[in-house]
Amino acid sequence: MAKVKVRIPATTANMGPGFDTLGMALKLYNEIEVEEIDTQTEIYNNNLKSEENFKDNLIYKSITETMDKQKYPHRGFKINVIKCDIPISRGLGSSSACIVGGIAAANEIMGSKMNLEDIIDLATKIEGHPDNVVPATLGGMVISLKVGEEIKYSKVTVPNKLKFVAMIPSFQVNTALSRKVLPDTYLKEDCIFNISRSAMLISALYNGEFDKLRICFGDKVHQPYRKNLIKNSDAVFKESRELGSIGEFISGSGSTLMAVLDKNADEFMKSMKKFLDKLEDNWNIILLEPDLEGVKIAS
């Protein structure tokens, strides 16, 4: 019976004006171990058996959907989440990590029948949109879009100098609610606003024009509506600017807030932690870099 270990990175998506299209993998990881067994599926968290119904588990669903699509016979699995550093329902791609990890594990067990495009297409089908699953699969910063049922993507080079500070509150933002608060229609000038910022963001990153990044992370499609679901978001972004951040955005649909730095990371982290500790909710702060490998079969 085959046994495989998989490491999957966290992701940040939307990234300002790049709603449902722009995402980046981060050096924050979950690791899962999947083993074929002849009995009913069992779910473990760090070797402790979970009471969760395995049929509701997203890793299990992704494994079985992958194998069913490839007509690979299966019975049961021992699924062990041996490392879970990606916070759940905080806008850092925890569900995408489950999906991509499950597909990658299944593919390895089957003898690597699927190529990257197959994995990306299936992951997008399960997740519903590509902006998290594509960077989780490929690593790095990626623009991704759907053309019919096919996913097209292009990687973006992120300057090594840039660091990303994730500020993660103790409360979640409901994904369904975060979609519901968005308007059904937008003014033409708001669409132009986002198109211009998205285009310049990619160019500014490519050219190392860090002075333009704050303008480029501007958005009128989702952040003005979602920030109201994240307590103290305006105050956190204001403090980030005052402490030297060169850009800020909501990670995914929240509740994590992201600040972009090009220098003085240690000073920023110390000062921001003091500020966050004064807020009513508990906030965690993590300094991150882009992950360039994507999902990886661990040795």
Alpha carbon distances (Å) from 73 to 57, 70, 290: 19, 9, 37
In this structure, CATH architecture of domain 3-155+292-298: 2-Layer Sandwich (3.30)
Average pLDDT over residues 168-177: 89
Q: What is the pLDDT of residue 46?
A: 86
Average pLDDT over residues 161-168: 97
Q: Is the dihedral of CA 14, 20, 21, 26 positive or negative?
A: positive
Q: What is the pLDDT of residue 199?
A: 96
Q: What is the pLDDT of residue 299?
A: 64
Return the CATH number of 163-288, one of 3.30.70.890, 3.30.365.10, 3.30.450.40, 3.30.460.10: 3.30.70.890
Residue 264 zone, left/alpha/beta (φ > 0; ψ -120 to 50; rest): left
**184-206 burial by CB neighbour count: b if 16+ within 10 A, else e?**
eeeeeeeeebbeebbebbbebbe
Q: Give which of 108, 155, 106, 109 is closest to 294, Cα–Cα.
A: 155
What's the pLDDT tens digit per position in 283-297?
999 999 999 999 999
Q: What is the pLDDT of residue 50?
A: 84
For helices 116-127 and 94-109, angle between their N-to-C axes, nearest 10 degrees: 140
Bridge pairing between strands 296-298 and 3-13: antiparallel
Q: What strands, in cross-sheet order, belong to the sheet with 257-261?
A: 247-250, 257-261, 163-169, 283-288
Q: Are 26 and 10 in contact (CB under 8 A)?
A: yes
Residues contributing to the annotated binding site: 87-97
The two three-digit tokens of residue 268, written as one number: 């920023």
Q: Which residues contact 125 (CB under 8 A, 6 or more apart)?
A: none
Average pLDDT over residues 207-226: 95
The answer on pLDDT for 175 being more than 80 is no
* Residue spans per domain, the chain: 3-155+292-298, 163-288
Give the number of other CB atoms < 10 A from CB of residue 97.
33
Q: Is the dihedral of CA 181, 187, 193, 199 positive or negative?
A: positive
Q: Is the dihedral of CA 276, 277, 278, 281 positive or negative?
A: positive
Q: Which amino acid is at 163?
A: K
Average pLDDT over residues 246-250: 97
Cα(295)–Cα(66) distance, integer angstroms: 16
Residues contributing to the annotated binding site for ATP: 87-97
Average pLDDT over residues 2-27: 96
Three-state DSSP at 242 gives helix
